Amino acid sequence: MAPAHRRFSWLVSIVLVLLASGQLPPLLAQDVACKFEAFTYTNEGLTIRAGAFYLDDGQKHPVLVYNHGTPSSEGEGRPAWESIGAGLRCQIVRETGMVLFFAERRGYGGSDGMSFQAYISQGTRKGSSERGTRIVERLWQEAGDIETGIQYVANKPYVRPPVAIWGQSGGAVLALLLSSRAIPGLAGVIASGPGFGWEDRPDTLYGEPTAAAVEAGKKAQVPILLTVGQNDVRLEMVRTMTQNLRDGGKDITSIEYPGMGHSWSWSRIGSEVVKFLGRVVRIAR
C-alpha cells in the first residue's frame, strides 16, 4: 500500500481536477443555499421581468437559460419561473452547478408588450399558414428579449460564461432559433418537444416554426440536444428535424422517451440534460 502522504497527495490531485472541470461544485452544492433574485431589464423599449436561481457560495457559475413554452392566454400572466416546479428549480441549480435564468418574454407575466395569443391572432385564422408565419415573426422578437437578458444577467456577481439555452415546446423552437445567433459564450442548446399546434393532433401542427427552427439550427456552431416523448404528437416532426440537422453536419443528440408525452419529466430527462451540459460547458472553457 502506498504511504499515507502519497495517498493524500493523490486525493488532492483528484479534487483539483474536479474543481478545474467544474464537476465538484454540484457535488458539494447540497450544503450551499440556493437563492432567487428577481429583476427587470429593457429591450426595444419594453420592460422585461426576469429572475435567476443561483448557489450562494461566493462563486461565479455558468448560466442555463430556460425558455418557457407558449401557453394559452389563461397561462400568460404567470411568472416564467413557475413553468418549472418550485422544488425542482433549485434541484436543477444544484445538479448542474449553473445559474437558472428565466425571462418573461414580452407579453408574458409582468413584462410589457402584447400577449402572444393576441399577436399571432391579428389578421390570421387558426391553423393557417399565415398564422404559422406570424408565430415565427413573434418568436424572433422574443429571441431579442432573451439575447438582451443574457447580456444583462452576465453582469451579475454570481455569473460567468459560458451560457446554455434550454426550451420547452414553443420555447424549444425559440431555443433553436437562438442557436443561430452570435451570442457571446453560447455553449449549447437543448430543445424539449419543439413544435406548435392548435390542438393535440399531428394534423394541426404548424410547419412554419419547425422549418424556421431547422434553418436556424443549420447555422448553429454549438451542440444541440433534442428530447421528445414517444407519446408526443410532435414525435415524427422532431425525428424529421433531427435528420435534417444531422444532414447539415450538426452536432445533434436526439433522445426519445417511452411513455412520456409533450411535457418533460426531470426524473426521465434530467440525467441526460446534466450530462450534456457538463460536456458543452467543459468544451466552451
Mean pLDDT by runs of 10 across the 285 residues of the chain is 53 44 48 91 97 96 92 63 90 96 92 90 81 90 96 97 95 94 95 76 68 90 95 89 89 95 92 96 76
What is the pLDDT at residue 57? 94
Handedness of CA 275, 155, 116, 87 (dihedral sign): positive
Query: In which element (H, E) is residue 271 found?
Result: helix 266-284
Q: Where are the beta strands (DSSP E) in the chain?
A: 34-43, 46-55, 61-67, 99-103, 159-168, 186-192, 224-229, 252-257
What is the pLDDT at residue 204? 54
Partners of residue 38 on adjacent β-strands: 51
What is the pLDDT at residue 73? 45
Strand 186-192 versus strand 61-67 pairing type: unpaired
Cell of 197: 399546434
Q: What is the pTM of this model?
A: 0.85
What is the pLDDT at residue 32? 81
Cell of 227: 428530447
DSSP-derived 3-state class of residue 91: helix
What is the pLDDT at residue 202? 54
Helices 207-217, 235-247: inter-axial angle, 10-degree rounding: 30
